[in-house]
Structure 1
Amino acid sequence: MTTKSAMEWNLGGEGWELKGFWPWVPLKGTSMEIGNELMGVTDWMPATVPGGVHHDLYRAGLLANPYRDLNSLHAEWVENRWWAYRKKFRAPAQAGATMQLICRGLDYEAMVYWNGVLLGEHKGMYEAAVFDATDHYRPEEEVELLVVFKQAPDEMGQIGRTSETFTQKSRFNYKWDFSTRLVNVGIWDDIVLAAKGAYSLGELSVTTDVRGETGLIRVVAEVEANGRRGNGSAVGTKESQYEEALGMTGRGSEKGGRAADSSVAVIVKLYDPEGALAHTMQIVPDDEGLASCTIEVEAPMLWYPSGYGDQPLYRVELTLAGDACDYDSRSLRTGIRKLEYVQNEDSPADALPYTFVVNGRKIYIKGANLTPLDHLYGNVTEERYGWMARLAKEGNLNLLRIWGGGIIEKPVLYDLCDEHGILIWQEFIQSSSGIDNEPSKRPDFLPLLARSAEAALKARRNHVSLTVWSGGNELMSAPNVPSTFADENLAMLRELVRRHDPGRLFLPTSASGPVQYITEERGVSHDVHGHWKYMGNPDHYRIYGTADHLFHSEFGVDGLSGVKSIRKFIGEAHRKPVPMKDSLVWRHHGEWWDTFDRDTALFGQMTTLARFADCSQWMQAEGLRYILDANRRRKFNNSGSIIWQLNEPWPNVTCTNLVDYYMEPKMAYYGVREAFQGRRASLDYVRLDWQAGEAMSLPVYAATDGESADCLVCAEVLDSAGKVLHGQAFQRRTTPDRTLRLGSLSFQAPETADGLFYIRLTLAVNGEAAAVPGAPYIFSTRPDPIYAPALTLAGGKLATEALGEWAAESGHGDAAADAVFTRQYVVRNTGDRVLLHVYPIERTDRYWTLASDAYFTLFPGEERVVRVNCRKRTGELFLETSTSAAADAQERPHIDFLYFNAAAAANINP
């Protein structure tokens, strides 16, 4: 065989320029009246592709950092201009029977020119625009590629009418509770020039299953015949019956015709997870141009979600071969697994199946909602995706819901989820709008939705991590009534899923009902959303402790970012604790998530920003921990929890996220990680405050996901000096599919010197050494504000000792740009009072940081060994400081440890 003739050249990277214009000016060029050149609102400037206009303007000095203070208000003009990207390059010497220009990320409405000739127009950011450049292509000719974007459409943000939605553009850009209005414009994904031979591989489907002891890999590949057809404006004109029924033109996106030629064959090779060749098959396409086969793998290595097993990936390679050459090739990785869906235990007969079963094992969902990683999503680098995936994996998450108000993510995220065992819940791009939430049925919208949905289905179905499709976020046919498949919009999407990915569950929307929001009414909740606040003491514990929903696909608790992050985007004049009503700047960065009154009521006066952040993060972690444990106690009557939200796309003072914009994990992240451990002991309670001497009887639970185990739980009641006031032990054997009540911790609420007492649980499994104690439950016998004594704790003394030097993790070279450095520390409390919420902080601000343990509590005389992992920050936007490359290469992370209210106590001994 000769080398294959199909080739691709990525046109991204260097050499792009950008210029802004008033609307229509780039098409006119010169003034009709006086003949002068219409010069535009900017000069040509360097541009990033993939990327977006805003960051290029910032780099050119034409835009102030839009993430700082109120600056984004002064950037809203950007969305109202036209923008032209251009790149000059020499056409490759190689040419194919067909030359295609493939634009995978035009955001949003664009015209594409090749040496001044219009190749076509495109509308929509999720479907690739594919243009035939064959007639215009001259090998080694100088080419000017010009992409002209019209102004962004004026779509609705979080508040508006869903029924009037008319675009397939990221809705959160137009203002959401966790973001501002900053509407992205530009080329947000790759642009590729492709030379195709007489034949090429088209659509591809790779699905897996398990039958008995045999793994099945089903491969279906479309073979396309290339070459000009008709007037040469596009490669082929065949459209699906569904597209024709919707009246879709598919302009600029047509695909090649199907081939029926016995001279070509598809050679399929399968490599096992160790890289050894396991199978080879040769398939001749049928008369419709489809080459299909099923590969049987005996005793396969099975793919499991994180926490339930390993994630071995097989590699499938396809080569389209002719008599004299290889025309095309494709390669992907997949996992072998059996995926099923069943109703929950004791589920109502009309409920949807919310329990996911992988390889015969029920998977309890421990998930989080993922927003886009950045407001300017075209500028997100693979390194940022990689670190976010690591945060999810090490946070014990096994599912990410990719939310319908955001974007259909880039392939790298799905690849990472395949590798890490993180299931994907993918929503199509629709979301509620508050005034009405009914799915849009506008005649200009449904074809766009169908096209982007079909493109997403075909592009993402080959990922083993993909588990659920959903019609969108919080779509409702009436207040508090989620929409169903009776809706024309959702019925259309269900048909597309049935056609293109029939093996996966499609839910009409999230929440899927029959009521939208969590309620204390019994017997009516299946999949619900809410709430998003700490609901107060004792209401929070009553609401979540008595709920009976089958699935909890969105809920949250709000809390401040850390001071280290807040200082990056809030000017010094605004760095003081205030309620949102008293600060426009704070309101601009998290208006909905004001915790000032909540935290003042529980702790007392917020005198410093550091104190406010400490108190707010405490209550966020407390509120989430209780919800997660309450849901898990009903496993598999309840099939899982999906927290709102893992991340945020722009920096907020306060939000419901676990990880802030700068990738700094909050206390809630570590609290969720502990609550989602596979082996977990937990406590149930109905409030945080008790009367001294009051009889307490608190249920103790144990869960061991995926295993039966003998569990020993030791429960201790302590005071702030570390004195054990009461202790009990509980021992029973758990089962994989239950959270088992072991008994009740019974004692009288103690009278302590400061009014605080602590309960902590230590779990030992199957006779193994007990793990470190879990984060304590902190109660008070004082009147409001019940947690005020925590602000005056004194006597704890923090001492830290580094063990060894920084070392690169296994698999990372010390000098590599992507090195992850690790170091261990011994952290001790050498004082005579408790230290609350001890955590590491990286001082150079050049590294993302993730610790093996953080926000843990040390009683007097206790110590903890903590491993800290750091990776060089890269790809972050709007950085206001810089350092020399030499210093950056030499410096290693600098870790300090802090604790709750440390600024007031000031007892840190490095």
Structure 2
Amino acid sequence: MTTKSAMEWNLGGEGWELKGFWPWVPLKGTSMEIGNELMGVTDWMSATVPGGVHHDLYRAGLLANPYQDLNSLQAEWVENRWWVYRKKFRAPSHASGTMQLICRGLDYEAMVYWNGALLGEHKGMYEAAAFDVTDHYRAEEEVELLVVFKQAPDEMGQIGRTSETFTQKSRFNYKWDFSTRLVNVGIWDDIVLAAKGAYSLGELSVTTDVQDESGQGLIRVESSVERNGRAAGESEAAADSPAVIVKLYAPDGALSQTKRIVPDDAGRARCTIAVEAPLLWYPSGYGDQPLYRVELTLADDAREYDSRSLRTGIRKLEYMQNEGSPADALPYTFVVNGRKVYVKGANLTPLDHMYGNVTDERYSWMARLAKEGNLNLLRIWGGGIIEKSALYDLCDEHGILIWQEFIQSSSGIDNEPSKRPEFLPLLARNAVAALKDRRNHVSLTVWSGGNELMSAPNVPSTFADENLAMLRELVRLHDPGRLFLPTSASGPVQYITEERGVSHDVHGHWKYMGNPDHYRIYGQADHLFHSEFGVDGLSGVKSIRKFIGEAHRKPVPMKDSLVWRHHGEWWDTFDRDTTLFGKMTMLSLFADCSQWIQAEGLRYILDANRRRKFNNSGSIIWQLNEPWPNVTCTNLVDYYMEPKMAYYWVREAFRGRRASLDYARLDCSAIEAMSLPVYVATDGESAECLVCAEVLDSAGAVLHGQAFQGCTSPDKTLLLGSLSFQAPETADGLFYVRLTLTVNGEEAEQSGTPYIFSTRPAPIYAPALSIAGGKLAAEALGEWVTDSMDSATTDDAVHARDYAVKNTGDRVLLHVYPIERADLYWTQASDAYFTLFPGEERIVRVTCRKRTGELFAESSTSAADDAQGRPRIEFVYFNAAAAANTYP
């Protein structure tokens, strides 16, 4: 987080108004023919800054909830109007001679007026618009600030021609497979008024390293010093002799070092601070994330002109080719402080269509879900946005590496990077702005030219492309210590293939590929890196009820429902799930089954990739989240921040210590001879491991047991042996394989979610729908306690409580998880969607944070929280609604 000096006033917050007009009307004001005032398409209404027009219209009652049913279709007029933001304020007093108005989030094409005077025009979301208002400024004067937005540009959504891209506007807004068409317009980031003295600090670069020989930490600081003109009463001597005072504070807050730097003739101040025995920053799962504070003050003997402060971590970042990598492959293995890091990542979409309205609290909870989900990398995708600084601060704190893409993406008809003459300079300016700002985050690990850019079908673009060559040079100039990849996937083929020896960094697939095809495709793949892939699954009923009207809440294929199609057309799982489970008429059951197969499909892909560590250097799941509520999607966490079953199974697959099973299909014949390889991985450590494997039936009887032992290495997944047995004949045709891992004599934190197989003909999982006899009991242990995790979380914002969850029946309970019935809290559990056999008990910690900052949110239940204002937690399980007949 970078903070500025005190002479800066944030103009966001209260006092803004908004009004809509037909195009060009704000510039004319009156009719040429009759002279009447042209009043606009709305009256003045209260506005939110930062924010967006759509939510302000909704709050004013002029727009129906665009996230409900088909309502977004009736909101598409918004992008085709001009919108005027207005704020009246009293100009603050100040003692310096230069005043700047800095608009960091104009979306997209705007004209800015100060008391009727046009300050200038601006086009582009990511480069700040800075206007010198010194000549207009009068202290204590009433100011009317107007920001006039033209209609949104007619850019392409997911389908179109990349070669014709001409803007730097976020493209997912124009329709993507996980979103609708709601094109944001408004002030989406801060707008500030800055007072500058004779000198000020300009662009800042803070990078860190570790010396190989001595182990010293190095913090390299470089800042420009800008001359703004002498303030009244300032002497020539004072104006000509400022220095930059750099102070370094240790992670515990103690002042560590102070340096005084005199800028050179070019106005650059540079220094390197050596730190003895530094506390090193590691990605999550590999160590801690201590952050040092660097404070810069520009001053002479008489006065202080400017100051800045930021936090950084000391770490050495390197890149190397994968083991067994072809000579021409790019380096896909990230090395931090000499340790190879296996990437456990997810792609991040914008948190909301209305990204200007995303609060720090929503960023904070999403970062928490990422860390608690055992993710160590987020890919900020090129079809979305360059996120607000709050997210990068949180990733610095939590040890989540950032893969940052520039704002470019494939378009289906052609995917070639645009070289339009108006586009390349715009791309360059926005890229430089992003580079200069984001390079100071220790979590930033790799830059990419964009998403799925291809010079020909299935052939990713390379640095030979003029567009990408330009970006590589900009990265070299402004952030030379970090890797730049031309695109994701970076090839030499785009998509995962069963052909061997041709896959480096690949994408795909995004569906469960069927039984047994899914297991053949991923089990035999040999790609070096898997930077995008996914499996689709329904949201939970609790969420679906918020945005789908009651008439549409029944299982249907997408072809039979316009409403369902509008909320996830690409991700129809109806045929897949009925093939595996049989006919379903209840929405709750359909959601349970769909989430099961999503979780199963992702778990297998992650385990298959990890078995080849570091020949394969990691997995980045598509996708962690979604910016609009879908009935079904490839996300792990739905729009309302409800983690799906896949989130918890992914978390288990990404544990630092992990035992896993390999298999070729989900079904087999009774008494068929089975031989299933057993693997174990321990990230970053060598350890003695014991894996106990059990084959069980639905009554919890152990039908076969086998133990495996071995010593792991930090950088390899170890094959311990094969679990060999005859597929049992069970009463319901199902059997379960559960692995329990012990590391160095202590049981690892592995939930033991079993692998579930069937000996029945299709639909092979139909017996799971009729399992009866399990009884779920959950008892709260103690009271709610506070649980703070990051700098954006207040001490009393997050609550946690332990529960003893037990199966008191005589049959298995599948996929047990907590649900917050009041619908007033975001919820995350230490364990969820686990299996309890008869008599088994598990202690689960449930963590909750009050829902805040959600847009268009309407509770799915009328229940209130308890008298103490705490969450109402209930544990449920697979097909529980059918068993209790609680949902129609």
TM > 0.5: yes
State how far apart, in whole Å, the 1-side matches of 2:156 and 2:750 are: 49
1:674 aligned onto 2:676: no
State how far apart, in whole Å, the 1-side matches of 2:389 and 2:546 are: 30
State how far apart, in whole Å, the 2-side matches of 1:427 and 1:125 are: 15
State how far apart, in whole Å, the 1-side matches of 2:677 and 2:362 are: 41
Secondary structure of 2:220's counterpart equals strand
After superposition, the Cα gap between the structure-2 partners of 1:166 and 1:334, relative to the gap in structure 1 and judged at 3 Å, is: same
Q: Write out aligned runs for 1:11-410 (5 A).
A: 11-211=11-211, 212-227=214-229, 263-410=241-388
Q: Write out aligned runs for 1:469-488 (5 A).
A: 469-488=447-466
- Residue 527 of structure 1 corresponds to 505
State how far apart, in whole Å, the 1-side matches of 2:263 and 2:788 are: 45
Higher mean Cα deviation, 95-104 or 832-841? 95-104
Task: Find 2:438's aligned residue among 460, 466, 473.
Answer: 460
- Matched-pair contact (CA < 8 Å) for 2:66–2:75: yes
State how far apart, in whole Å, the 2-side matches of 1:173 and 1:5 are: 35
State how far apart, in whole Å, the 1-side matches of 2:542 and 2:321 are: 45
- Residue 250 of structure 1 corresponds to none
Residue deviations 1:353-397, cap 9 Å, x none?
000000000000000000000000000000000000000000000
Secondary structure of 2:172's counterpart equals helix
- Matched-pair contact (CA < 8 Å) for 2:658–2:741: yes
Structure 2 residue runs without a partner (length 5+): 232-236
State how far apart, in whole Å, the 2-side matches of 1:509 and 1:819 are: 40
State how far apart, in whole Å, the 2-side matches of 1:16 and 1:751 are: 70
Residue deviations 1:227-246, cap 9 Å, x none?
399xxxxxxxxxxxxxxxxx
- Residue 570 of structure 1 corresponds to 548
- Residue 497 of structure 1 corresponds to 475
Q: CA deviation at 1:769?
A: 3.6
Q: Write out aligned runs for 1:899-910 (5 A).
A: 899-906=877-884
Q: CA deviation at 1:785?
A: 0.1
1:788 aligned onto 2:790: no
- Residue 235 of structure 1 corresponds to none
After superposition, the Cα gap between the structure-2 partners of 1:5 and 1:383, relative to the gap in structure 1 and judged at 3 Å, is: closer
State how far apart, in whole Å, the 2-side matches of 1:816 and 1:773 are: 30
- Matched-pair contact (CA < 8 Å) for 2:787–2:796: no
State how far apart, in whole Å, the 2-side matches of 1:860 and 1:887 are: 32
After superposition, the Cα gap between the structure-2 partners of 1:583 and 1:385, relative to the gap in structure 1 and judged at 3 Å, is: same
Q: Write out aligned runs for 1:856-895 (5 A).
A: 856-880=834-858, 890-895=868-873
Higher mean Cα deviation, 430-439 or 767-776? 767-776
1:707 aligned onto 2:660: no
Residue deviations 1:212-232, cap 9 Å, x none?
310000000000000399xxx
Structure 1 residue runs without a partner (length 5+): 230-258
Q: CA deviation at 1:621?
A: 0.2
Q: CA deviation at 1:261?
A: 6.9
- Matched-pair contact (CA < 8 Å) for 1:5–1:325: no
- Matched-pair contact (CA < 8 Å) for 1:260–1:286: no
After superposition, the Cα gap between the structure-2 partners of 1:341 and 1:811, relative to the gap in structure 1 and judged at 3 Å, is: closer
- Aligned residue pairs, count: 875
- Residue 640 of structure 1 corresponds to 618
Q: TM-score, normalised by structure 1?
A: 0.94
Q: TM-score, normalised by structure 2?
A: 0.97
After superposition, the Cα gap between the structure-2 partners of 1:138 and 1:738, relative to the gap in structure 1 and judged at 3 Å, is: same
- Matched-pair contact (CA < 8 Å) for 1:262–1:285: no
Q: CA deviation at 1:188?
A: 0.1
Q: CA deviation at 1:768?
A: 1.4
Q: CA deviation at 1:524?
A: 0.2
State how far apart, in whole Å, the 2-side matches of 1:632 and 1:560 are: 26
The letter of the residue matching 1:753 is: A
Secondary structure of 1:690's counterpart equals coil
State how far apart, in whole Å, the 2-side matches of 1:89 and 1:882 are: 41
Identity in percent? 87
Residue deviations 1:584-618, cap 9 Å, x none?
00000000000000000000011100000000000
Task: Find 1:799's aligned residue among 763, 777, 780.
Answer: 777
Q: CA deviation at 1:904?
A: 1.6
- Matched-pair contact (CA < 8 Å) for 1:438–1:476: yes
- Residue 662 of structure 1 corresponds to 640
State how far apart, in whole Å, the 2-side matches of 1:380 and 1:595 are: 30
Residue deviations 1:423-468, cap 9 Å, x none?
0000000000000000000001001100000000000000000000
State how far apart, in whole Å, the 1-side matches of 2:160 and 2:238 are: 50
State how far apart, in whole Å, the 2-side matches of 1:324 and 1:186 are: 42
After superposition, the Cα gap between the structure-2 partners of 1:379 and 1:62, relative to the gap in structure 1 and judged at 3 Å, is: same
The letter of the residue matching 1:582 is: D
The letter of the residue matching 2:351 is: L
Higher mean Cα deviation, 259-268 or 283-292? 259-268
- Matched-pair contact (CA < 8 Å) for 2:786–2:796: no
Secondary structure of 1:581's counterpart equals helix
Secondary structure of 1:300's counterpart equals coil
- Matched-pair contact (CA < 8 Å) for 2:198–2:230: no
After superposition, the Cα gap between the structure-2 partners of 1:442 and 1:69, relative to the gap in structure 1 and judged at 3 Å, is: same
State how far apart, in whole Å, the 2-side matches of 1:458 and 1:82 are: 32
Residue deviations 1:856-894, cap 9 Å, x none?
00000101111000000000001235999x989942100
- Matched-pair contact (CA < 8 Å) for 1:365–1:399: yes
- Residue 236 of structure 1 corresponds to none
- Matched-pair contact (CA < 8 Å) for 1:6–1:327: no
The letter of the residue matching 1:348 is: P
- Residue 449 of structure 1 corresponds to 427
Q: CA deviation at 1:324?
A: 1.1
Residue deviations 1:786-823, cap 9 Å, x none?
0000000001111111111222226899x968511111
State how far apart, in whole Å, the 1-side matches of 2:732 and 2:203 are: 68
State how far apart, in whole Å, the 2-side matches of 1:348 and 1:70 are: 50
The letter of the residue matching 1:265 is: A
The letter of the residue matching 1:117 is: A
- Residue 234 of structure 1 corresponds to none
Q: Write out aligned runs for 1:709-724 (5 A).
A: 709-724=687-702
The letter of the residue matching 2:224 is: E
Task: Find 1:775's aligned residue among 715, 740, 753.
Answer: 753
- Matched-pair contact (CA < 8 Å) for 1:6–1:197: no
State how far apart, in whole Å, the 2-side matches of 1:53 and 1:670 are: 36
Q: CA deviation at 1:124?
A: 0.2
State how far apart, in whole Å, the 2-side matches of 1:871 and 1:80 are: 38
After superposition, the Cα gap between the structure-2 partners of 1:887 and 1:367, relative to the gap in structure 1 and judged at 3 Å, is: closer
- Matched-pair contact (CA < 8 Å) for 1:5–1:196: no
After superposition, the Cα gap between the structure-2 partners of 1:462 and 1:816, relative to the gap in structure 1 and judged at 3 Å, is: closer
The structure 1 segments of at least 4 consecutive aligned residues displaced by more than 6 Å after TM superposition are: 886-889
- Residue 586 of structure 1 corresponds to 564
The letter of the residue matching 1:709 is: A
State how far apart, in whole Å, the 2-side matches of 1:807 and 1:274 are: 25
State how far apart, in whole Å, the 2-side matches of 1:830 and 1:507 are: 54
Residue deviations 1:513-556, cap 9 Å, x none?
00000000000000000000000000000000000000000000
After superposition, the Cα gap between the structure-2 partners of 1:882 and 1:709, relative to the gap in structure 1 and judged at 3 Å, is: closer
After superposition, the Cα gap between the structure-2 partners of 1:635 and 1:190, relative to the gap in structure 1 and judged at 3 Å, is: same
After superposition, the Cα gap between the structure-2 partners of 1:631 and 1:882, relative to the gap in structure 1 and judged at 3 Å, is: closer
